[in-house]
Amino acid sequence: MGVLRLQLPTDPRWVNIVEKNIEEILTDHAWCEQKAATNAITIITNNSEHQDLVKDLLALAKEEIDHFEQVHNLIIKRGLKLGRERKDDYVNELYQYMKRSADGSRVSGLVERLLFSAMIEARSCERFKVLSENIQDEELAVFYRELMESEAGHYTTFITYARKYGEGIDVEKRWREWLEFEESIISNYGKNETIHG
């Protein structure tokens, strides 16, 4: 999985599960984009002194909302409905790990939040790649290929700022620990028609 450094790839057979319920994957995906935008705004709110981070994460948040709109438009075009927000157990496990890992300092809190965000973007990027290469629906294959490239850029943004503002923290070591933790939980997922499920 190259640049993303993920330790365990998604089984392509996950796409067979997805294809049985396109409405569910699109609804879940839409809410993932909304939550990603909200996460970026939260980072901005808590770290507004970093002008470059604010600027880049504003752009990222706008892009995530644009993706939400694109998914929503696909749902409407197909005569489907945007369901209620879904619980994301995978993200919740990462969130709990982030909370346990921060040492209470502002720097640690920022680095952990950025690595949490990078981890989600990395796995989402990998899932979009698997979808784009295996789904029978041509429109969705193209759509997920385009989004995959965008998610890779978001991953890079978060990792770059963790390195830039992680003064006194071995960010590379922390990222390896995040990758190991993610590997320990991801095998429990990939069984449902959701982006991380």
Percentage of the chain with pLDDT > 90? 94
Q: Distance between CA atoms of 99 and 51, rounded to whole angstroms?
A: 25
Percentage of the chain with pLDDT > 70? 99
Whether 71 has a pLDDT exceeding 90, the answer reads yes
Name the DSSP letter for residue 39: H
Contact 3, 160 (CB under 8 A): no
Helix (H, G, I), strand (E, B) or coil at 68: helix
> Residues 113, 114, 115, CA angle at the centre, nearest 5°?
95
Contact 66, 37 (CB under 8 A): no
pLDDT per residue as tens digits for the range 9-21: 999 999 999 999 9
Handedness of CA 170, 176, 177, 178 (dihedral sign): positive
Name the DSSP letter for residue 139: H
Q: Distance between CA atoms of 71 and 65, rounded to whole angstroms?
A: 10
Closest CA to 111 of 67, 62, 173, 55: 173
pLDDT per residue as tens digits for the range 38-52: 999 999 999 999 999
Closest CA to 121 of 182, 192, 69, 62: 182
